[in-house]
Copies of this chain bind each other. A is one copy, B any other.
Amino acid sequence: MNKKLTESLENYLETIGMLVRENKIARVKDISKKLNVKNSSVNIALNVLADKGLIVHEKYGYVELTKEGQKIADDIQRKEDILLRFFTEILGVDKDIALKDACRMEHTISDETLAKLIFFIGKVDKEASFKKAIQKNMKE
């Protein structure tokens, strides 16, 4: 039924999700600005996403996520968040670089690896001694 989306389409969905969260609405212009592409490119992508039942887009109107589209957008956002936290909080990578990496890797990390990463971060949060061991060893 739902074949895997391309990285590009995932990015469109994620961006629409972000815009709706931030501004309540998402317009073609907002999407093109966020993704650094032209309106015409956005339009084509929106048609594809609409065909797949992941968004609703009335001509000249706002863009909305369907329930299924929202689920995918949330899923990608969650992957980005986990990767970002790992890079910044555990590895100590600079925020901007970490975000760029997360934004690319969020499309390729497997569910299994993601689950392990979540487990890892969760442990660091919960176990003070573990957190300390990381802080001690990762400093400088």
Residues of A at the B interface (CB closer than 8 Å) are: 87, 90-94, 97-98, 100-101, 104-105, 108-110, 112-113, 116-117, 119-120, 123-124, 127, 129-130, 133-134, 136-138
Name 6 extra pairs, CB < 8 A, besides A91-B116, A93-B113, A94-B112. A87-B113, A91-B117, A101-B110, A105-B108, A105-B109, A130-B136
CB distance from A110 to the nearest CB of B (A): 5
Instruction: Report Cα–Cα, A104/B117, bound state, in Å.
Output: 17
Chain A's interface: helix, strand, loop or mixed, by majority?
helix
Q: CB within 8 A of A110: which of B100, B108, B129, B138?
A: B100
Instruction: Report Cα–Cα, A55/B43, bound state, in Å.
Output: 40
Question: Which residues of B sit under 8 angstroms from A116, Cβ to Cβ?
Answer: 87, 91-93
